Amino acid sequence: MTRIAIITGSTRPGRRGGNVTDWVLEAAGRHRPEVTFEVLDLHDHALPHLDETAPAIFGAYERAHTLHWAEAVGAYDGFVFVVPEYNHSFPAPLKNAIDFLYAEWNDKAAGFVTYGINGGVRAAEHLRQVLAELKVATVRTQVALSIHHDFAISDPLEPGTLTPGPHQEPALTTMLDEVVAWAGALKSLRVPA
């Protein structure tokens, strides 16, 4: 059984990321019922600013929260990152959470569902660079949700409602198929724990 984590990459009170994560989880379960999809929400892990002595590549985790996060990430074969664009990149709490670990990311697949004024595409481009260093294979197809066209927002301080255009779910299912295929193929590279 292939296991894919849907990582909610924003932690802001009133975030839109919760609605986007729910949409991804529901569509993923419907499209690929034989695959396990679970939400990994940064908000639930509440990691502090990186406080490990050794860089994660040494695998010498000392803190309970790091071990807990490592166990969570290590349980999956691949990831779907649900990520907004913040200042032409992805949110700092997500970078911090990525930096805590190393081996748990290695030789796994990932895809992106981004959102922002222009679909959040710059968040994904930065994230691809970071994940390459962690030996994560990032798939081509990407979902880019526009704040203006794929959400109904009456108050900019409220999350509003996700109203994805008709082309978005086909993009999502194509991306999911790519992630599941690569996650399966990369299993043979990983040493069983």
The site for ligand FMN (CB under 6 A) is made up of 10, 12, 15-17, 84-88, 115-118, 147
Rounded to whole angstroms, the Cα distance separating 179 from 19 reads 21
Q: Please state the closest distance from residue 15 (CB atom) to ligand FMN, in A.
A: 3
Q: Please state the closest distance from residue 145 (CB atom) to ligand FMN, in A.
A: 9
Neighbouring CB atoms inside 10 A of 50's CB total: 14
| Complex with ligand FMN: residue 88 or 190, whichever CB lies closer | 88
User: Among positive and negative, which fits the CA dihedral 106, 11, 39, 49?
Assistant: positive
Cα angle 66, 38, 127 (rounded to 5 degrees) comes to 60
| Complex with ligand FMN: residue 41 or 104, whichever CB lies closer | 41
Q: Please state the closest distance from residue 98 (CB atom) to ligand FMN, in A.
A: 17
| Complex with ligand FMN: residue 36 or 89, whichever CB lies closer | 89
| Complex with ligand FMN: residue 116 or 164, whichever CB lies closer | 116
Q: Please state the closest distance from residue 12 (CB atom) to ligand FMN, in A.
A: 4
User: Among positive and negative, which fits the CA dihedral 119, 123, 128, 134?
Assistant: negative
Cα angle 11, 158, 79 (rounded to 5 degrees) comes to 35
